[in-house]
Structure 1
Amino acid sequence: MTRLGIVFTPAHDPARLIAAARAADAAGLHEFWLWEDCFSHGGLTTAATVLASTEHIQVGLGLMPAPLRNVALCAMEVASLHRLFPGRFLAGAGHGVQHWMRQVGARVASPMTLLDEYSTALQALLRGEEVTVDGRYVSLDAVRLQWPAPDEPFFLGGTGPKTLRYAASHSDGTLFAAAMSDDELTASCAEVIAARRSADHRIIAPRLVAVGAGADDRIRDEVGRWGKTDASGLAVTGGAAEVADEVARLGHLGITSVVAHPTDDEPDLEGLIEVLGRTAAALR
Structure 2
Amino acid sequence: MTGLGAVFRPQLAPERLRAVAQAADDAGLEELWLWEDCFREGGVSSAAAALAWTERVRIGVGLLPVPLRNVALTAMEAATRHRMFPGRPILALGHGVQDWMGQVGARAESPVTLLREHLHALRALLHGRRVTTEGRYVRLDDVGLDWPPDREVRVLAGATGPRSLRLAGEAADGTVLTASTPPDGVRQARRLIDEGRAAAGRTEPHEVVVYLLAATGPGAGERLRADLAAEGVGSVPDLGVAGDAAAVAEAVRRLAGAGADTVVLQPTGDEPDPEGFVRFAAEQVRPLVA
Q: TM-score, normalised by structure 2?
A: 0.94
Which portions of structure 1, spanning 4 or more consecutive aligned residues, are displaced by more than 4 angstroms?
Answer: none
Q: How do 1:132-211 residues align onto structure 2 when only pairs under 5 Å count? A: 132-149=132-149, 150-196=151-197, 197-198=202-203, 200-211=205-216
**What secondary structure does 2:63 align onto?**
strand
Structure 2 CA distance for aligned equivalents of residues 183 and 226 of structure 1:
19
Note if contact 1:220-1:230 (Cα within 8 Å) is conserved in structure 2: no
Match in the other structure for 2:225: 220
User: Deviation at 1:63?
Assistant: 1.1
Amino acid at match of 1:235: G
Note if contact 1:206-1:261 (Cα within 8 Å) is conserved in structure 2: yes
Q: How do 1:45-56 residues align onto structure 2 when only pairs under 5 Å count? A: 45-56=45-56
Note if contact 1:4-1:260 (Cα within 8 Å) is conserved in structure 2: yes
1:259 corresponds to 2:280: no
Q: 1:161 to 1:231 in 2, by over 3 A?
A: closer
Structure 2 CA distance for aligned equivalents of residues 245 and 33 of structure 1:
21
Structure 2 CA distance for aligned equivalents of residues 240 and 12 of structure 1:
24
Q: How do 1:3-82 residues align onto structure 2 when only pairs under 5 Å count? A: 3-82=3-82
Amino acid at match of 2:87: G
Structure 1 CA distance for aligned equivalents of residues 31 and 184 of structure 2:
25
Return the match for 2:242 from 231, 237, 256.
Answer: 237
Structure 2 CA distance for aligned equivalents of residues 271 and 45 of structure 1:
24
Amino acid at match of 1:192: I
User: Deviation at 1:169?
Assistant: 2.2
What RMSD, in angstroms, separates the aligned Cα atoms of the two structures?
1.5
Flag structure 2 segments of 5+ consecutive residues without an equivalent.
none
User: Deviation at 1:184?
Assistant: 2.4
Structure 2 CA distance for aligned equivalents of residues 56 and 186 of structure 1:
31
Greater shift after overlay, 185-194 or 140-149? 185-194
Q: 1:6 to 1:69 in 2, by over 3 A?
A: same
**What secondary structure does 1:252 align onto?**
helix
Greater shift after overlay, 119-128 or 147-156? 147-156
Note if contact 2:223-2:268 (Cα within 8 Å) is conserved in structure 1: yes
User: Deviation at 1:12?
Assistant: 1.4
User: Deviation at 1:193?
Assistant: 3.9
User: Deviation at 1:231?
Assistant: 6.5
User: Deviation at 1:214?
Assistant: 0.4
User: Deviation at 1:194?
Assistant: 4.3
Note if contact 1:28-1:281 (Cα within 8 Å) is conserved in structure 2: no
1:222-248 Cα offsets, whole Å, 9 max, x none, are 111111223641111111111211111
Match in the other structure for 2:285: 279
1:253-283 Cα offsets, whole Å, 9 max, x none, are 1100101010011111122222211221343
Note if contact 1:9-1:34 (Cα within 8 Å) is conserved in structure 2: yes
1:165-194 Cα offsets, whole Å, 9 max, x none, are 111222111001222233323321332244
1:26-61 Cα offsets, whole Å, 9 max, x none, are 122111111111111100000001111111111111
1:82-127 Cα offsets, whole Å, 9 max, x none, are 0001111111111111111111111111111111111111111111
Greater shift after overlay, 23-32 or 222-231? 222-231
Q: TM-score, normalised by structure 1?
A: 0.96
Q: 1:199 to 1:133 in 2, by over 3 A?
A: closer
1:136-160 Cα offsets, whole Å, 9 max, x none, are 1111111110001251211111210
Note if contact 1:208-1:234 (Cα within 8 Å) is conserved in structure 2: yes
**What secondary structure does 2:258 align onto?**
coil
Structure 2 CA distance for aligned equivalents of residues 135 and 235 of structure 1:
40
1:105 corresponds to 2:111: no
Tell me the number of residue pairs that the alignment of Structure 1 and Structure 2 aligns: 284
Note if contact 1:220-1:231 (Cα within 8 Å) is conserved in structure 2: no
